């Protein structure tokens, strides 16, 4: 026994630390595991009365990037001073990074704890032993780094040749000489090709996914660990469709290093963060035409551009966003001519479907009102007319392509169902063979195989019925239908405004020919100025008249506004509303009047209310000021002695207060008050019943 082991050490606990770096080592390297567990017997042979085994870290690396609860427990026990020695097969078992290793050595030196391995006993308080322990820790870390470096260099050398160890995406298989080929399964090939065709047709990964769900079509998926030879068919998810569209392997290219992880420090340890996609220029390896692909590289780049523009969160950075069902045609095309930001769409109105283009740049930056806003109706009509005039010459060609696309759509669906039916027939025949081969007396097995056979036959019947329904529903285009289609092609305006034309199709047409539209508003005269940037690089200008302030389809008539202006001199809002309704006037929205609507009209046009007017009175007010009856005032008005006016029938007389001080008016009023008899005069107006 070494003279470094003192009785004070034997009185304390001995810790035996057992660790292997991976689960594969734990499963296969059993001899090393036995040697480590045998250290318990060695500690007892050296005289330690109590030995504690720590093996919680089996399958965990000692590089410092993984949490090791067993090692943390070991450090806590050493800190308490209750440990006499730490046993390990070799230093690398305790730690393969200098941070953990030197921390342990420092703690052992402070608490007089020995470190024992198969080569000897080390006292961290002695300089020679501490130097040797430091070298062991450094060599252990260097050894791990060297092994990783060699393995990485060999792996990247293989990658540079276009070979790799990971599994290929669905639709490909790897040959014995490590070449990549298309799967020989025609159904899988057709399904993968259909994803790219449908995305090109709809322009959206989400819409493509929804189409597969609506048509009840399945997509293939590889069973992990089968090298692409075992396939299952499932309904696609949006993530699955995006994986197919974004993988450069389908373009015949071998790519490596498309993603990278960021190392972050959490709780004092280096952790691997989430993987992030890198730009194409930063990919480590990109080999074109490495194997047969389903699309060409130009198509792949076009798809990535469409996916990037469809990202809703990135539209504020210049991306258009995906085409949606909203009625605003110019969504994603308009840009503010004042601040350069993209315009957003707000919906309002009673139905919530009235679009308006709004720039919110100033509101976000300075907290003030937005730069500009514009109604969508006139802008959409003007831009659509301009685009239709530009693409009218290719209308016939578009009609022919629409006819061809309809035929291809039906053929694609029928091909998918036909291949699926062939696979279902194969599954049914295999289930039948399994059922025929079983011993009839083994009822448990026979019943299960019979159930599988019945399920396979039900799948065959379902696919046959779907194909029959497809053949019944799809009708060949007659000569009359083709002639109508060509007429619509010659007259794109009619086709554009046809009720069956999908709004998303109109938006895709606009985005195909237009790159962006810069909008600015001018006030003299009121108009929208549009700068159309076409895809070919040509720029054109378009001027669209706009309403002046308060001039819109729902604005009140000028006669109503003038009438309210006059009536507000002597009448309250409730009285004005009664007069307007009696005369048959309506609001701009075709509704009847009430006090609140009259007040809103006055507020919008900045008309003062009756209570704020002291220079006008009604007939009753004039009679009260003069101290006479209403009949006397009516006679004075009819005789032309007292100036007054009645703007419309049933409206009250409007009399200026200053006219009540005229000498002739005062004389007539004084004569009436003194008792002089006046001739009777008929009333010059009709009173409004209350």
CB 252, CB 289: distance < 8 Å? yes
Q: Which residues fall within 8 angstroms of residue 581, CB to CB, at 6 or more apart?
A: 592, 593
Cα gap 577→649, rounded to integer Å: 14
Quick one: pLDDT at residue 66?
77
Q: How far is CA 293 from CA 129, 186, 196, 224, 267, in A?
A: 62, 14, 12, 22, 46
Give mean pLDDT, residues 534-554: 75
Q: How far is CA 414 from CA 138, 191, 217, in A?
A: 67, 12, 11
CB 630, CB 681: distance < 8 Å? no
Residue 690's pLDDT band (cuts 50, 70, 90): very low
Give mean pLDDT, residues 496-515: 81
Give mean pLDDT, residues 635-648: 80
21 catalytic per annotation: yes
Burial class of residue 641 (count of CB atoms within 10 Å of its CB; 0-12, 13-18, 19+)? middle
**The tokens of 633 are what?**
């005032």
Q: Classify residue 22 as left (phi > 0), alpha (psi -120 to 50) or beta.
A: beta
CB 496, CB 388: distance < 8 Å? yes
Residue 120 has pLDDT above 80, yes or no: yes
Looking at per-residue confidence, does 326 or 320 come out higher? 326
**The tokens of 3 are what?**
């003279």
Give mean pLDDT, residues 109-132: 90
**Quick one: CA dihedral 370, 374, 376, 381, positive or negative?**
negative
Residue 683's pLDDT band (cuts 50, 70, 90): very low
pTM of the model: 0.56
Quick one: pLDDT at residue 689?
40
* 677 CB neighbour count, 10 Å cutoff: 7
Quick one: pLDDT at residue 614?
65
Looking at per-residue confidence, does 294 or 148 come out higher? 294
Residue 301 has pLDDT above 90, yes or no: yes
Summarised one tens digit per residue, pLDDT across range 217-249 is: 889 998 887 777 788 899 988 889 999 999 999
Quick one: pLDDT at residue 238?
85
- Of 21, 92, 208, 634, which is the active-site residue? 21
**The tokens of 60 are what?**
């965990």
Residue 14 has pLDDT above 90, yes or no: yes
Summarised one tens digit per residue, pLDDT across range 466-476 is: 788 776 755 55
Residue 563 has pLDDT above 60, yes or no: yes
Quick one: pLDDT at residue 174?
84
CB 256, CB 164: distance < 8 Å? yes
Q: Count the helix, strand and coil residues of the chain and give each as a percent rounded to the nearest 5.
A: 50, 15, 35
Question: For residues 318, 323, 324 and 328, what is the CA-based torsion angle, rounded to 10 degrees?
Answer: 70
Residue 606 has pLDDT above 90, yes or no: no
Residue 684 has pLDDT above 50, yes or no: no
Q: How far is CA 93 from CA 9, 17, 38, 45, in A?
A: 22, 8, 14, 21
* 4 CB neighbour count, 10 Å cutoff: 16
Quick one: pLDDT at residue 315?
46
Residue 485's pLDDT band (cuts 50, 70, 90): low
H-helix or E-strand containing 50? none
Residue 367 has pLDDT above 70, yes or no: no
Quick one: pLDDT at residue 168?
86
Q: How far is CA 471 from CA 336, 376, 403, 476, 514, in A?
A: 51, 43, 18, 10, 39
Question: For residues 154, 155, 158 and 163, what is the CA-based torsion angle, rounded to 10 degrees?
Answer: 160
DSSP string, 440-498: TT-HHHHHHHHHHHHHHHHHHHHHHHHHHHHHHH--PPPHHHHHHHHHHHH-HHHHHT-
Cα gap 265→362, rounded to integer Å: 39
**The tokens of 240 are what?**
């699955």
Cα gap 468→463, rounded to integer Å: 9
Per-residue burial over 267-279, b = 16 or more CB atoms within 10 Å of its CB, e = otherwise: eeeeeeeeeeeee
Cα gap 282→119, rounded to integer Å: 48
Q: How many residues does the chain have?
A: 690
Beta-carbon-side half-sphere exposure of residue 516 (alpha carbons within 13 Å): 17
Give mean pLDDT, residues 556-572: 75
Residue 570 has pLDDT above 50, yes or no: yes
Cα gap 551→438, rounded to integer Å: 86
Summarised one tens digit per residue, pLDDT across range 302-316 is: 999 888 888 755 444
Question: What average pLDDT is seen over the chain?
Answer: 80
Summarised one tens digit per residue, pLDDT across range 331-364 is: 888 888 888 888 888 887 666 678 888 887 765 5
Cα gap 396→485, rounded to integer Å: 9
Cα gap 108→425, rounded to integer Å: 72
Residue 98 has pLDDT above 50, yes or no: yes
Quick one: pLDDT at residue 119?
85
The angle subtended at Cα 599 by Cα 594 and Cα 604, nearest 5°, is 130
Q: Which residues fall within 8 angstroms of residue 425, CB to CB, at 6 or more apart?
A: 460
Summarised one tens digit per residue, pLDDT across range 375-415 is: 888 888 888 888 887 777 655 555 545 555 556 666 777 78
Residue 12's pLDDT band (cuts 50, 70, 90): very high
Cα gap 60→82, rounded to integer Å: 26
**The tokens of 199 are what?**
């995305």
Looking at per-residue confidence, does 413 or 257 come out higher? 257
Quick one: pLDDT at residue 248?
92
Quick one: pLDDT at residue 474?
53
Residue 314 gets which letter from DSSP? G
Cis peptide before 525 (omega within 30 of 0): yes
Q: Classify residue 257 as left (phi > 0), alpha (psi -120 to 50) or beta.
A: left
Question: For residues 659, 662, 665 and 670, what is the CA-based torsion angle, rounded to 10 degrees?
Answer: 130
Quick one: pLDDT at residue 681?
45
- Going through 40-101 in order, the beta strands assigned E by DSSP cover 51-54, 83-87
Give mean pLDDT, residues 430-453: 83
Residue 636 phi/psi, 5-degree rounding, is: -65, -40
Residue 625 has pLDDT above 60, yes or no: yes
Quick one: pLDDT at residue 409?
63
Residue 486's pLDDT band (cuts 50, 70, 90): low
* 438 CB neighbour count, 10 Å cutoff: 15
Q: Which residues fall within 8 angstroms of residue 50, CB to CB, at 6 or more apart?
A: 12, 13, 14
Looking at per-residue confidence, does 282 or 609 come out higher? 282
Quick one: pLDDT at residue 1?
62
Cα gap 600→587, rounded to integer Å: 11
Quick one: pLDDT at residue 473?
57
């Amino acid at each position: 026994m070494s003279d470094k082991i003192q009785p004070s050490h034997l009185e304390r606990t001995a810790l035996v630390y057992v660790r292997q770096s991976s689960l594969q080592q734990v499963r296969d390297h059993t001899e090393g595991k036995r040697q480590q567990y045998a250290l318990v017997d060695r500690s007892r042979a050296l005289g330690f009365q109590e030995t504690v085994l720590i093996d919680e870290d089996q399958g965990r690396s000692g590089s410092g990037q993984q949490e090791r609860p067993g090692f943390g427990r070991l450090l806590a026990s050493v800190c308490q001073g209750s440990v006499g020695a730490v046993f390990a097969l070799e230093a690398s078992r305790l730690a393969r990074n200098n941070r953990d290793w030197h921390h342990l050595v420092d703690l052992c030196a402070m608490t007089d704890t020995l470190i024992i391995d198969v080569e000897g006993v080390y006292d961290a308080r002695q300089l020679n032993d501490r130097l040797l322990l430091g070298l062991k820790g450094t060599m252990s870390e260097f050894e791990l780094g060297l092994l990783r470096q060699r393995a990485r260099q060999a792996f990247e050398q293989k990658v540079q040749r276009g070979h790799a160890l990971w599994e290929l995406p669905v639709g490909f298989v790897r040959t014995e000489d490590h070449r990549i080929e298309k799967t020989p399964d025609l159904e899988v090939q057709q399904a993968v090709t259909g994803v790219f065709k449908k995305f090109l047709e709809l322009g959206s990964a989400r819409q493509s996914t929804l189409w597969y769900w609506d048509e009840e079509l399945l997509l293939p998926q590889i069973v992990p660990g089968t090298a692409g030879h075992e396939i299952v068919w499932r309904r696609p998810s949006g993530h699955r469709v995006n994986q197919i569209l974004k993988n450069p392997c389908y373009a015949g290219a071998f790519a490596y290093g498309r993603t990278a992880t960021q190392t972050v420090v959490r709780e004092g340890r280096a952790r691997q963060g989430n993987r992030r996609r890198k730009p194409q220029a930063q990919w480590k390896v990109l080999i074109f035409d490495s194997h047969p692909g389903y699309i060409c590289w130009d198509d792949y780049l076009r798809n990535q551009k469409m996916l990037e523009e469809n990202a809703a969160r990135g539209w504020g950075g210049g991306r258009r966003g995906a085409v949606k069902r909203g009625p605003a045609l110019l969504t994603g095309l308009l840009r503010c001519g004042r601040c350069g930001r993209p315009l957003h769409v707000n919906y309002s109105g009673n139905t919530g479907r009235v679009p308006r283009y709004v720039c919110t740049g100033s509101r976000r930056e300075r907290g003030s009102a937005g730069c500009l806003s514009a109604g969508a109706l006139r802008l959409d009509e003007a831009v659509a007319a301009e685009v239709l005039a530009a693409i009218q010459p290719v209308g016939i060609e578009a009609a022919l392509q629409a006819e061809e696309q309809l035929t291809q759509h039906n053929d694609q669906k029928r091909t998918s169902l036909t291949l699926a039916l062939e696979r279902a027939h194969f599954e049914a025949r295999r289930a039948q063979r399994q059922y025929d081969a079983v011993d009839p007396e083994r009822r448990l097995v026979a019943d299960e195989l019979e159930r599988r056979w019945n399920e396979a036959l039900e799948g065959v019947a379902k696919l046959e019925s779907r194909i029959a329904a497809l053949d019944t529903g799809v009708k060949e285009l007659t000569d009359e239908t083709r002639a109508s289609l060509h007429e619509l092609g010659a007259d794109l305006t009619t086709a554009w405004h046809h009720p069956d034309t999908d709004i998303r199709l109109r938006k895709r047409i606009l985005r195909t020919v237009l790159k962006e539209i810069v909008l600015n508003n001018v006030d003299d005269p009121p108009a929208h100025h549009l700068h159309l940037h076409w895809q070919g690089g040509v720029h054109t200008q378009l001027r669209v008249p706009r309403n002046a302030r308060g001039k819109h389809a729902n604005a009140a008539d000028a006669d109503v506004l003038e009438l309210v202006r006059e009536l507000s001199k002597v009448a309250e809002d409730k009285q004005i509303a009664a007069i307007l309704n009696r005369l048959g006037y309506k609001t701009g929205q075709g509704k009847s009047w009430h006090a609140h609507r009259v007040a809103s009209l006055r507020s919008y046009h900045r008309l003062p209310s009756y209570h704020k007017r002291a220079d006008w009175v009604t007939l009753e007010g004039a009679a009260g000021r003069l101290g006479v009856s209403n009949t006397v005032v009516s006679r004075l008005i009819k005789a032309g002695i007292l100036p007054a006016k009645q703007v419309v029938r049933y409206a009250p007389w409007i009399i200026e207060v200053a006219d009540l001080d005229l000498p002739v008016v005062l004389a007539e009023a004084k004569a009436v008050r003194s008792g002089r008899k006046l001739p009777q005069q008929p009333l010059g107006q009709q009173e409004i019943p209350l």
